[in-house]
Chains A and B, each alone.
Chain A
Amino acid sequence: MRVLLAEDDPLLGDGLRAGLRQLGFLVDWVRDGLAAEAELRAHPYAAAVLDLGLPLKDGMDVLAAIRRAGITLPVLVLTARDALPDRIRGLDVGADDYVVKPVDLNELAARLRALVRRAHGQAQDCLTARDVVLDPAARAVLQAGVPVALSAREFDLLHTLLLNAGRVLSREQLEQHLYSWGQEVESNAVEVHVHHLRRKLGSALIQTVRGVGYVVTREPAGP
Chain B
Amino acid sequence: MPRPRSLQGRLLALVLGVVAAVWGVTAALTWLDVRHELDELLDSHLAQAAALLVVQQAGEIEDDQPAVDAPSLHRYAPKVAFQVFHDGRLAMRSSNAPAQPMLAFSGRATTGFRTVELAGQTWRVFAAHGRERDTQVFVGEQVDSRNDILWAVLRSGLTPMLFALPLLAVAAWWAVRQGVAPLRALGRTLAQRQPQALEPIAVQGAPAEMAPMLDALNGLFGRIGALMASERRFTADAAHELRTPIAAIRAQAQVALASVDDAERTHALRATLQGCDRATRLVEQLLTLSRLESGSAPALGPLDAVAVVRQVVAEAAGLALGKRQALALDAPASLSVHAEGVLLSVLARNLVDNAVRYSHEGASVSVRLRQTAGGAALTVEDSGPGMSAADIEHLGERFFRVVGSGQSGSGLGWSITRRIASVLGAQVSVSRSASLGGLAVTVQLGSAVHS
Q: Is the CB of A18 within 8 A of B243?
A: no
Contact residues in B for A56 (Cβ distance below 8 Å)? 403
Q: Is the CB of A55 within 8 A of B403?
A: yes
Q: Is the CB of A15 within 8 A of B268?
A: yes
Interface size on B, as a range, is: 20 to 34
Number of interface residues of A (CB under 8 A): 26
Contact residues in B for A104 (Cβ distance below 8 Å)? 250, 254
Nearest chain B CB to A114 CB, angstrom units:
19
Q: Is the CB of A9 within 8 A of B251?
A: no
Contact residues in B for A31 (Cβ distance below 8 Å)? 403-404
* A105 and B264 alpha carbons, distance in the complex (Å): 16
Q: Is the CB of B403 within 8 A of A15?
A: no
A44 at the interface (CB under 8 A from B): no
Q: Is the CB of B252 within 8 A of A22?
A: no
Q: Most chain-B Cβ atoms within 10 A of its Cβ — which of A11, A16, A55, A82? A: A11
B116 at the interface (CB under 8 A from A): no
Q: Is the CB of A9 within 8 A of B259?
A: no
Task: Please give me the residue from chain B that is nearest to A106 by CB atom.
Answer: B254
Stretch at the interface among B5-13, B186-194, B270-278, B370-378: B270-278
* A105 and B267 alpha carbons, distance in the complex (Å): 17
Contact residues in B for A11 (Cβ distance below 8 Å)? 245, 248-249, 252, 271, 274-275, 278, 408
A100 at the interface (CB under 8 A from B): yes
A96 at the interface (CB under 8 A from B): no
Nearest chain A CB to B141 CB, angstrom units:
100
Contact residues in A for B180 (Cβ distance below 8 Å)? none
A156 at the interface (CB under 8 A from B): no
B224 at the interface (CB under 8 A from A): no
Q: Is the CB of B240 within 8 A of A15?
A: no
* A116 and B219 alpha carbons, distance in the complex (Å): 55
Given A31-B403, A103-B251, 11 more pairs with CB closer than 8 A: A11-B248, A11-B252, A12-B247, A14-B271, A15-B247, A15-B251, A32-B403, A55-B401, A102-B243, A102-B250, A105-B255
Please, could you name 9 A-B residue pairs with CB atoms under 8 Å apart, sorted by A? A11-B249, A15-B251, A18-B268, A22-B258, A31-B403, A55-B403, A55-B404, A102-B246, A105-B254
Chain B residues with a Cβ under 8 A of chain A = 236, 240-241, 243-252, 254-255, 258-259, 264, 267-268, 271, 274-275, 278, 401, 403-404, 406-408
